[in-house]
Amino acid sequence: MRRVSQVNAVTVRVPAKVNLQLGVGPIRDDGYHDLVNVFHAVSLCDEVTAEPAERLEVRVQAAPHSRVAIDGVPTGTDNLAARAARLVAARLGVEPAVRLRIRKAIPVAGGMAGGSADAAAALVACARLWDDREQPVLARDDLMDLGADLGSDVPFAVLGGTAVGVGRGERLTPALTRGTFHWVFATADGGLSTPAVYGECDRLRLDAGEEAAWPAVSEGLMTALATGDAKGLGAALSNDLQPAALSLRPALRRTIDAGRDLGAIGAVVSGSGPTCAFLAETAEDAAGLADALHGAGVAEQIVRAQGPVSGATVL
């Protein structure tokens, strides 16, 4: 085994994502769907600290001032961050002797890829811990490749910004954006399982006798991003999983409608839900919308964030 470095502890901040467009194509032979996925990283972040330890350990807590329910997060070896640490260790030929301390602000099973974010953070943190020479063996692209083995949202959490993903969502091309977009997120009590939401999407399509179309990137969306046109972006938000999320969690319809009624310029379920994402034109509008949504009592928690932001970053 290679001698590992003397770095003591590395903390990485990693963003949640919202899908600006989630186009779900026909189901493939391998059981996955072909997707067109426009990912957007927002300033709602988890932090993962990696420090040398006797053996691989994971500790999970809610971030300070966050009310994230962490009960559903495994602390054992099936935590995605632990799996990421093992992958990096195997690649570098070192023991995965690391304690990972995860501070969560991203809702669990909320459709914002929190588990994938923690995996991305662990990839970057462990690489820094064990590979701190001038020319690291693992470049960011290598970490994104390793991440793709853990889940299709992991490479984007390493990359950040705004990017178009095709295939299962893991082949990424950065998108041109201008300025900052202002978001309000409404979280729900209790998560939705991503496979269950895809299953419901298939069932609804079958019942309706609908053949899924091959998804294509929305040109209106790309133009709105490139020109910093918040209203255009709001109008172009789309999510093919939304009917399935609403079918499994009918109360979300009230949340989406409330956001629209209260002045959001765009409203969409984030990924597989149940978090709902609302777009506002300015930071002040976002603050007003957040207060109004809070008053309407349609969500467990209301969180403001901006995007795009960088991917997993060493602090």
Is 117 annotated among the ligand-binding residues? yes
Q: Quick one: which of 194, 218, 238, 242 contacts ligand ATP (CB under 6 A)?
A: 194
Check residue 73 for interaction with ligand ATP (CB under 6 A): yes
Check residue 79 for interaction with ligand ATP (CB under 6 A): yes
**Of the ranges 21-29, 79-87, 227-235, 254-262, which one interacts with ligand ATP (CB under 6 A)?**
79-87
Is 50 annotated among the ligand-binding residues? no
Distance CA 239, CA 23 (A): 6
**Of the ranges 3-11, 75-83, 125-133, 170-178, which one interacts with ligand ATP (CB under 6 A)?**
75-83
Is 107 annotated among the ligand-binding residues? yes
Cβ-proximal residue to ligand ATP, closest one: 115
Q: Would you state the structure tokens that stand for residue 263, as one six-digit string?
A: 């002045």
Nearer residue to ligand ATP within complex by CB, 5 or 75: 75
Judge whether 104 counts as a catalytic residue: no
Q: From residue 82 to residue 121, what is the string marking binding to ligand ATP with x (rule CB under 6 A)? A: --------------------x-----xxxxxxxxx-x---
Three-state DSSP at 226 gives helix
**What's the chain's length in residues?**
315
Distance CA 188, CA 309 (A): 24
Is 310 annotated among the ligand-binding residues? no
> Do 39 and 19 form a contact (C-beta atoms < 8 A)?
yes
Least distance (Å) between residue 181 CB and ligand ATP:
19
Distance CA 196, CA 190 (A): 14
- How far apart are the two ends of the chain, measured CA to CA in Å? 28
Query: How many C-beta atoms surround the C-beta of residue 260 within 10 A?
Result: 14
Site for ligand ATP in 255-274 (CB under 6 A): 271-272
Beta bridge partners of 49: 11, 101
Is 110 annotated among the ligand-binding residues? yes
Least distance (Å) between residue 150 CB and ligand ATP:
10
Beta bridge partners of 46: 14
Side-by-side strand order, sheet with 301-307: 266-269, 276-280, 181-187, 301-307
Is 220 annotated among the ligand-binding residues? no
| Amino acid symbol at 40 | H
Q: Quick one: which of 53, 59, 67, 74 contacts ligand ATP (CB under 6 A)?
A: 74
Distance CA 114, CA 107 (A): 7
Q: Quick one: which of 36, 81, 221, 248 contacts ligand ATP (CB under 6 A)?
A: 81
Distance CA 189, CA 112 (A): 14
Judge whether 153 counts as a catalytic residue: yes
Query: Which of 17, 104, 118, 240 is an active site residue?
Result: 17
**146 half-sphere exposure, CB direction, 13 A CA radius:** 28
Check residue 153 for interaction with ligand ATP (CB under 6 A): yes
- Residues annotated within a binding site for ATP: 107-117
Interface with ligand ATP (CB under 6 A): 72-74, 79-81, 102, 108-116, 118, 153, 191, 194, 271-272
List residues forming the annotated binding site. 107-117
